[in-house]
Amino acid sequence: MKKSLIALGAALACLGSVHAQSSVQVTGLVDAYVGSMRLAGASGHTNVVGSGGMTTSWFGFKGTEDLGGGLKANFLLTSFFQADSGAPTRQIPGDTFFSRDASVGLSGGFGNVQLGRGMAPNFLPTILLNPFGDSFTVSPLVLHANVPNVGAGWFNQTTPVDTGWNNEIIYTTPNFGGLTANVHYQFGEQAGKSGKNNTGLNVMYFGGPLTLMGFYESAQISYATGGVMDKQTDWMLGGAYDFGVAKAYATYGQAKTNDNDATDRKTFSLGADVPVGAGAIKLAIARTKMDNLDLRRTTTSVGYDHNLSKRTDVYAVAMRDQITSLSSGTSLILGIRHRF
């Protein structure tokens, strides 16, 4: 009997060891706001309860398994949703259920290799080099990079396709004294057109108060249709420096389609985070120019983000959007964001 109990105890200890080597988390974020929205060229204001004032709402699962010898298996399955309506997408054409992440990979001393749907090269540098982060509602840099103003006929966002790519391989290097790089390759999966693909990379450096980043993309595969489009390229360089009393941001980038100078877009942005009490005042401006068409878009945002806890914050942001020869628009939002 004593031997049986010892054997059972050993078996349970082994099971506990196996369990400790694997983990799965349910994680996500809910962000909702009330506001009055008017982009440049709009006929009037729209009063809304919206989702994703500061961050697009999402939920999902992530997990890792320790395979031994420093090798780990990892997976991500995360989905966007609309907090105001419960709709399980970002409400863009062709959006899939797990459009935020759907990937599996291995990591170790060599870095990390990920297969599936993941971030595009533009995403991290864009959201980390502006004070409004990944806001697709009020961040001037994100709006110019990724969100066309359809009502005004402004389809000249600077990134070619999307913030995430399907059918992708991502290789992430180890961290070399604060420096890392991500190399992206998206297969076109077009019969007889094996040379059609999306490629890119980003490089990021974090060294104390200094952050430096850049990315480059070359894209031929459309996210919405999966079909081949004209070749588009874009790049951006930027940095941030935390002075203690404030954190400053600056970026500059260019984009073009199929080496056609008429489609050249040049974007610069400036921003600042100024800590105040349990939150921060946020200021940002982005300007995109199309010189050959004599078009300009300038977007400015000013806001305050107040932390109620490590996971919950409330915010208020005013934004002004201007496009050449169109009426300007002013928006105001008040919202709450909770991470879990």
Which domains does the chain possess?
Answer: 27-339 (2.40.160.10)
Higher pLDDT, 244 or 147: 244
The CA-based angle 312-77-145, given to 5 degrees, is 70
- Which tokens in the block code for residue 222? 């459309």
| pTM, entire model | 0.88
> Distance between terminal CA atoms of the chain?
46
The pLDDT of residue 286 is above 70: yes
Quickly state the pLDDT bin for 278 (edges 50, 70, 90).
Answer: very high
Q: Compute the average pLDDT of residues 48-57.
A: 98
**Rounded-to-integer distance, Cα 99 and Cα 331, Å:** 28
Residue 261's pLDDT band (cuts 50, 70, 90): low
- From CA 156, how far away is CA 21, in angstroms rounded? 47
Location of structure tokens 């980390």: 128
Cα separation, 251 vs 270, whole angstroms: 7
In this predicted structure, the answer to whether residue 234 has a pLDDT above a threshold of 80 is yes
Q: State how far the Cα of 145 lies from the Cα of 299, in Å rounded to an integer.
A: 12
> What is the per-residue pLDDT across 156-215, written as a single tens digit (0 to 9) for each?
677 877 899 999 999 999 999 999 999 999 998 877 766 789 999 999 999 999 999 999
Confidence of residue 92 (pLDDT cuts 50, 70, 90): confident
262 confidence band (pLDDT: 50, 70, 90): low
Mean predicted confidence (pLDDT) in 283-311 = 94
Q: Which residues pair with 339 in a beta bridge?
A: 29
CB 145 within 8 A of CB 206: no
Q: Which of 61-75, 157-171, 262-276 has the highest mean pLDDT?
A: 61-75
Q: Which residues contact 84 (CB under 8 A, 6 or more apart)?
A: 32, 48, 49, 50, 51
* Residue 16 pLDDT > 90: no
- Average the pLDDT over 47-61 and give the result: 98
Task: Give how far Cα 185 sits from Cα of 86, 201, 203, Å.
Answer: 33, 9, 15
And the tokens for 101? 């992440």
Provide the phi-psi class of 91: left if phi over 0, else alpha when psi is between -120 and 50, else beta.
Answer: left
d(CA 321, CA 285): 10
**CB-based contact 43:19 (threshold 8 Å):** no
Alpha-carbon distance of 177 to 171, in angstroms, equals 18
